[in-house]
Amino acid sequence: MARKKLFLWILVWANFLAWSIVFEASKPPLLKIVFFDVGQGDAIFVETPQSHQILIDGGPDSKILEKLDQQMPFYDRSLDLVILTHPELDHMGGLIEVLKKYKVDYVLWTGILRNTREYQEWQRVLKKTKAKIKIARAGQRIIASNTIFEILHPFENLAGKECKNSNNTSIVTKLSFGNNAFLFTGDISRSEEKKLVEQKGNLDADVLKVAHHGSKTSTCEEFLENVLPEIAVIQVGKDNHYGHPHQEVLERLKKYKIEILRTDESGDIEMISDRLHVKLF
């Protein structure tokens, strides 16, 4: 299906992007979200009812290209928005390949500094792309017609700041579509989860992307009590040497009667929302 015409305004004063489109009234208003199985890493594809295509992270390697081929028409080599939650290989490696192969309109990331080979390659490719680069911080909103992304974390502009471990700098976003909400948490630890709770924002979500692949350093009870998801998705590699997801995290999720879905067990996890219900495919 051909992408609809997209009109984009940058509203600096409000610190958010507003997307307005022309679309066919007959198209069912369905939001698609796919949690890709890319091994030990994160990659999430979002397609709005108006055919906006958004990629959150890209996994560790070029496997993401194969995954996108399965979701997008063969002639479609463009993405509206790419979000890098934080520049670690298991989230960034595949995005380097995406920026080489796809026309990307916007890239949203934190701009923090790292001293790794992969980071240097990310910077090199980012400079060559024609995408508009945006730095994320809490309070921004991305509005794609009736689909809204709220940036909840990081709490400050981190551009140009050095960081040895970027997990706790992860971009955390809440996607709202009608009565449904999805919370994407990158690799934040319990310390940042508690800070999010202290902000007294609305963390309630139907679907939680479990932070840091189910590490025992994340998904604390206080955070779960505020999110109260029906479904928790863990993006994790089969038989990974980190021991992810940790048993104590699984037990916490079970305690709150949250359905657990894992990419190492189910492969790609596809969800469709009609604004009222979330359905699995």
Give the angle 17-20-21 at the CA atoms, nearest 5°. 140
Q: Which structural domain, as residue segments, surrounds residue 216?
A: 29-280
Residue 61 structure tokens: 């390697």
pLDDT in tens, 171-208: 999 999 999 999 999 999 999 999 999 998 899 999 99
In a domain, 41, yes or no: yes
In a domain, 150, yes or no: yes
Q: Which of 242, 194, 223, 247 is nearest to 88 (CA)?
A: 242
In a domain, 16, yes or no: no
Q: Which of 108, 184, 187, 112 is nearest to 152 (CA)?
A: 184
The model's pTM is 0.90
In a domain, 17, yes or no: no
Overall domain count for the chain: 1
CATH number of the domain to which 142 belongs: 3.60.15.10
Number of Cβ within 10 Å of residue 128's Cβ equals 10
- List the chain pLDDT tens, one digit each, 281 residues: 444 333 332 233 233 344 433 334 455 689 999 999 999 999 999 999 999 999 999 999 999 999 999 999 999 999 999 999 999 999 999 999 999 999 999 999 999 999 999 999 999 999 999 999 999 999 999 998 899 999 999 999 999 999 878 999 999 999 999 999 999 999 999 999 999 999 988 999 999 999 999 999 999 999 999 999 999 999 999 999 999 999 999 999 999 999 999 999 999 999 999 998 888 87
In a domain, 39, yes or no: yes
Instruction: Give 233's contacts (C-beta < 8 A, 6+ positions apart).
Output: 35, 207, 208, 209, 210, 261, 262, 263, 269
Q: Which of 151, 211, 182, 172 is nearest to 278 (CA)?
A: 182
In a domain, 7, yes or no: no
Q: What phi, psi does 127 have (nearest 5°)?
A: -70, -30
Torsional sign, CA 55, 114, 150, 236: positive
In a domain, 6, yes or no: no
In a domain, 257, yes or no: yes
